[in-house]
Amino acid sequence: MTPQRLDRATARRVAVRAQLLDADRPADLLTVVDRLTFLQIDPTAAVAPNADLVAWTRLGAAYQPNQLTRALEADRTLFEHRAMVRPMADLGLHLAEMAAWPEDARRRDWLAANDTFRRYVLDLLRDSGPLLSRDVPDRSVVPWPSTGWTNNRNVTQMLEFLAARGEIAISGRIGRQRTWDLAERVYPPGTPAVPAEEAARTRDERLLRSLGVARATVVGEAGEPTEIEGTSGLWRVDPAALDGTPLAGRTALLSPFDRLVHDRRRALELFDFEYRLEMYVPKAQRRWGYFALPVLHHDRLVGKVDATADRKAGVLRVDAIHEDVPFTAEVTAAVHAELEALASWLGLPEVRRGENSAGTAGGWPAAGG
């Protein structure tokens, strides 16, 4: 197939609309997760947990975190697996992959050496589940070896491995702690496993629909080949996204883990947007901040906001608004409005300029201004 050619403006608009970041907001959380295919779970909550922040960016004030909890624990319309929240309707697309896990010898050998421990965990959950990891005694025969934080964390590793294999599942949370139970008591009974090759192909197609445009290394052979002006090599594009509908844009504050910016190379190629998460960068060496929020305005990524939810003080603290391109009065007003909306959603009564914001751009007023 001869590749078609897109200019970068069109590619950006396709990407923004695919990620539900245009002015036409989706109806509910399930619609968001179904379209995005997953929400990533990350414990960092400098502003809000990633899954909640991504959902808020799409749904606005209509979204509250208890909706995610209800969908996972009561309605079972979503499930959590390997740090991702996915639609329960997609479970069959992952069962064959679960059944084949793990592919590497190291994990297979550890599970085989600890088969009595594995069977003990399954029996314990069958009799007493759901349980927190601390409620599961360590009966490993061979400890889990690691040079990192998982060294000798045998219960955690066994639970993670059994969940990856689809034998157990996360049934809920108590605070941030996961509760574990047999998969048969969490997943709908009788869910058929889609054959592995077909499942992988369907997952690629769904992922491309959520991204609009992506490299083949991300979405395989899904969609159609395309060249994008100003970039090298071929991309894949979702043909359904090329319907000529104009983009009705808006301004949005994104999580650093948001899929519009998660692929840093893609963000640079399509949006001229340079970004890295600086949580692990020494403070003196940070350019944008600990958990800087990328700023989307229509089809451009225009800056970053260094903000923190200071719940003790009851404020959303803004230490800096970094302009990648000079903000117009319209963009400045829109960014400030989004910050006010974010603070309101977080239940924080005030947006306050931080102590380190002497160089703040974007016209942010001084505290009390």
Half-sphere exposure of 223 (CA within 13 A, CB side): 32
DSSP 61: G
Q: Are 267 and 273 in contact (CB under 8 A)?
A: yes
Task: Quote the tokens at residue 244.
Answer: 């000529």
CB neighbour class for 328 (10 Å; exposed up to 12, middle 13-18, buried from 19): exposed
What is the C-alpha to C-alpha distance for residues 161 and 174, in angstroms, rounded to an integer?
Answer: 21
Q: Strands 315-323 and 350-353, how do they pair?
A: parallel
**Packing angle, helices 105-113 and 154-164, rounded to 10:** 110
Cis bond leading into 102, ω under 30°?
yes
DSSP 35: H
Strands (E), 82-223: 84-87, 131-132, 168-174, 177-182, 213-214
**What CATH number is given for 93-185 in this structure?**
1.10.10.10
Strands (E), 88-136: 131-132
Backbone dihedral angles phi then psi of residue 87, each to the nearest 5 degrees: -65, 135
Tell me the fold of 251-353: Aminopeptidase (3.40.630)
Q: Name the residue among 280, 305, 279 with its Cα closest to residue 292.
A: 305
What is the C-alpha to C-alpha distance for residues 367 and 346, in angstroms, rounded to an integer?
Answer: 19
Q: pLDDT tens string for the chain (369 positions)?
A: 789 999 999 999 999 999 999 999 999 999 999 999 999 999 899 999 999 999 999 999 999 999 999 999 999 999 999 999 999 999 999 999 999 999 999 999 999 999 999 999 999 999 999 999 999 999 999 999 877 767 768 999 999 999 999 999 999 999 999 999 999 999 999 999 999 999 999 999 999 999 999 999 999 999 999 999 999 999 999 999 998 889 999 999 999 999 999 999 999 999 999 999 999 999 999 999 999 999 999 999 999 999 999 999 999 999 999 999 999 999 999 999 999 999 999 999 999 987 655 445 445 543 333
Helix (H, G, I), strand (E, B) or coil at 237: strand
What is the C-alpha to C-alpha distance for residues 183 and 168, in angstroms, rounded to an integer?
Answer: 4
Domain(s) of CATH 3.40.630: residues in the chain: 251-353
The β-bridge partners of 251 are: 297
Q: Burial letters for 43-73: b for 16+ Cβ neighbours within 10 Å, e otherwise?
A: ebebbbbbbbbbbbbbbeeebeeebbeebbb
What is the C-alpha to C-alpha distance for residues 222 and 44, in angstroms, rounded to an integer?
Answer: 32
pTM (whole model) above 0.85: yes
Domain(s) of CATH 1.10.10.10: residues in the chain: 93-185
Count of all residues that appear for the chain in the document: 369
